[in-house]
Amino acid sequence: MGWPVDDTWKAIAASPHGITWLVTSTRGTQTLSANMEVADATWTATWDGNQVTSEWKGSICDPLMDLFTQDPLCALAPWGQQLHVRAAMEAGRTWQAACPIGVFRIEETSVSDGGVWILQGTSGWRQPGFTDRFAPSGQQLDTTGRDMLQQLADEKWVTGKHPRNVDVRQAMTHIVDGTGVRLGMWQDDTRIPADMDWGRDRLEAALTVAKAAGKTLWCDRVGALQLVDDKTGRGRWEFSPSDDVGVSWMPSASRDGVSNGAAVQAETNGSRTEIWGAAYDEVSPLAWGGPFGRVPDISTSPTAHATVTANREAEDRLRTSMKARTATVHITVLDVNEGPVFYPDPMMVTRQEDLSVGSVLLTVNATDPDSLQHQTIRWVSGSGTTDGRWAGMAFPFQSQKLVVRSRHH
């Protein structure tokens, strides 16, 4: 399962060099973000004797805070986005050579180190920017991706119609049809049993076909599904190149438990005729058959006595499922917006009427206890204007002192 390297790679490997990850995010045929910076990552491959599965976990730097947002089409959302991972070697200050590690469907993303956000009254959430005398702090995102075998595991069969009297290649073509998983450049004309059990999902079927052919199933480094000679054994490998209210905003999103279709089967009542109903999400970014895949919620019903009833129940289940789609946000309060503290409070001052001009009448101190917000304090005098308005002045402060002096006798 190696990857061929050229003379440039060999030359760099033989000289002082660094190793890092290069990660590009795609969704369907669209590239969302290329060569994202990775702080730390681990790639794990596990062989259980019938299949090789792999997983990539990494901490991705997001200085502009635009890789993981509320937009379901953002680069690191788990709604059909894929990570194309390469290991690269550095010579000098440029990445001279890189080899593919794998293609991984994003399963989950969460913020491990986020910037500070501020709630401004009714204006909503905002992140402190340069106008607040803060520099954007960015965020670090923990992302988990699994190889494309997971796509086959999620796609449950919603039909009992399968081909008969076909060879291994033809059976695998039927299994991956419409999933976004592609077959590698291999051929196997071994015939599969006519009464083969296709299982509950496409991965079960693929493993059954691979076993019938005496092969091991795995996705190669460019994401293609391969069948290789089965060498009995198991193993595990890891690769980690290490050579107003201020809150901590830590959102996360996961594919776990999210479906984009519903299938309802009538409970058996002695009849040999199966009754199925189905409904599919056809409008959202997670639509059935799109980059997210085909992930049905399958259930049985004692009341689905006809196809029309089963379809109606499936539509109800899908509607409920779509309403329940949520994102998890962990919020930690860092600072509460307190008002300024005046000392002393209240203050009453008595002075002689004949004080000289410039004499100090009183001294007022005000301190802002907020550590995250740079606010403005306004000093107001009520002696003031002919139209009855208050006169005053404003300036930003952390701690300020006002001295009032006499202007006339």
C-beta neighbour count of 396 within 10 angstroms: 11
Mean pLDDT in residue range 290-301: 87
Q: Using a pLDDT cut of 90, give the percent of the chain over it.
A: 23
What is the predicted pLDDT for the residue at 248?
44
- Asked if residue 271 and residue 208 are part of one domain, the reply reads no
Where does a domain end: 188, 219, 243? 243
Where does a domain end: 310, 331, 352? 331
Mean pLDDT in residue range 84-109: 79
Any idea what the CATH number is for the domain that residue 161 is in?
A: 3.55.50.10
| Residue 126 falls inside a structural domain | no
Q: Which amino acid is at 113?
A: D
What is the predicted pLDDT for the residue at 204?
94
Where does a domain end: 302, 331, 360? 331
Q: Which of 33-37, 281-285, 322-326 has the lowest mean pLDDT?
A: 322-326
- Asked if residue 13 and residue 110 are part of one domain, the reply reads yes
Give the tens place of pLDDT for each residue, 21-65. 889 999 999 999 998 988 888 888 888 778 888 999 999 988 888
Give the tens place of pLDDT for each residue, 169-213. 999 999 999 999 999 999 998 999 888 999 999 999 999 999 888
| Residue 132 falls inside a structural domain | no
- Asked if residue 268 and residue 320 are part of one domain, the reply reads yes
- Asked if residue 97 and residue 28 are part of one domain, the reply reads yes
| Residue 120 falls inside a structural domain | no
| Residue 1 falls inside a structural domain | no
> In angstroms, how far apart are the furthest CA atoms of the chain?
115
What does DSSP assign to residue 344? S
- Asked if residue 264 and residue 166 are part of one domain, the reply reads no
Say if residue 82's pLDDT is above 90.
yes
Say if residue 272's pLDDT is above 60.
no
Mean pLDDT in residue range 332-350: 67
What is the predicted pLDDT for the residue at 241?
46
- Asked if residue 342 and residue 306 are part of one domain, the reply reads no
Question: What is the number of structural domains in the chain?
Answer: 4
- Asked if residue 46 and residue 93 are part of one domain, the reply reads yes
Any idea what the CATH number is for the domain that residue 267 is in?
A: 3.30.1920
- Asked if residue 298 and residue 323 are part of one domain, the reply reads yes
Task: Tell me what the pLDDT averaged over the chain comes to.
Answer: 75
Q: Contact, 194 vs 175, CB < 8 A?
A: no
Q: What six digits make up the tokens of 92? A: 């000098």
Q: Return contacts of 296-299, CB within 8 angstroms, 24+ apart.
A: 296/155, 296/156, 296/158, 296/259, 296/260, 296/261, 296/262, 296/263, 297/259, 297/261, 297/262, 297/263, 297/321, 298/156, 298/158, 298/262, 298/263, 298/264, 298/265, 299/262, 299/263, 299/264, 299/265
- Indicate the pLDDT class of residue 365, thresholds 50, 70 and 90: confident
- Asked if residue 361 and residue 323 are part of one domain, the reply reads no
| Residue 122 falls inside a structural domain | no
Q: Contact, 202 vs 148, CB < 8 A?
A: no
**271 is in which domain, residue-wise?**
257-331
| Residue 121 falls inside a structural domain | no
Residue 8's alpha-carbon distances to 20, 85, 89, 242, in angstroms, are 17, 20, 10, 22
| Residue 129 falls inside a structural domain | no
**How far is residue 317's CA from residue 277's CA, in Å, rounded to a whole number?**
11
Cis link prior to 193 (omega < 30° from 0)? no
- Asked if residue 319 and residue 288 are part of one domain, the reply reads yes
- Asked if residue 297 and residue 213 are part of one domain, the reply reads no
What does DSSP assign to residue 131? G
| Residue 250 falls inside a structural domain | no
What is the predicted pLDDT for the residue at 364?
72
Mean pLDDT in residue range 11-24: 72
pTM: 0.65
φ/ψ bin of 229: left (φ > 0), alpha (ψ from -120 to 50), beta (otherwise)? beta
